[in-house]
Structure 1
Amino acid sequence: MNIHRLISLASILGFAFLANVPLGYLREESKKFSLRWFVLIHISIPFIILLRISGGFDWKIIPLTLGCAIAGQLLGGFLKRRSAR
């Protein structure tokens, strides 16, 4: 894998993580399983897919992008709970 491809992958993973931090923060104050809660969890996914496809990556990086998105959601939720103290 060349350096440009690695930078592209790192950018996609960074976006997946960083986009989900504020979404996780907002999700934390939503009623569980409500429409808002569902949207806040899934709204970044089409953008991540678009970046993955436009970057020329196949389905094999989906677990990495999903893991970064979940980590961002969890961090955002943690930050919201911590600020509520």
Structure 2
Amino acid sequence: MSIIGLMLAVFLINLPFGYWRHRAIRFSRQWMMAVHIPVPFVFLLRILSGFGWKVVPLLMFSFAAGQFAGGKLGEQMLGKV
């Protein structure tokens, strides 16, 4: 898997969790779960793809971008443009 493919996978994993996070009350249990549940999946993807620690900043960016895009998708679907 290439670094771009890994970043895309992390982004796509976080889209539904960003949507969920957007609908939850900030810092509630649901909000915390929406932020933290995808972390083990991203960790496993990084380990299984064979990349070291040097890609972590890129994956953090993809993680945050997926959460943000999922939240914006939630706004669009709920009509709060």
TM > 0.5 between the two?
yes
For 1:19-34, list aligned pairs within 5 A: 19-34=13-28
Identity of aligned residues (%): 39
Aligned pairs, how many?
79
RMSD between superposed Cα atoms in Å: 1.2
Q: Which amino acid aligns with 1:11?
A: G
How high is the TM-score relative to the length of structure 2?
Answer: 0.88
**Structure ID, larger Rg:** 1
2:4 to 7, 10, 31: 10
Deviations 1:30-56 (A, max 9, x none): 010011101111111111111111222
List structure 1 runs of 4+ shifted beyond 6 angstroms.
none
Deviation of 1:77 (Å):
0.4
Residue matched to 1:4: none
Stretches of structure 1 lacking an aligned partner (at least 5 in a row):
1-6
Residue matched to 1:59: 53
2:75 to 58, 72, 81: 81
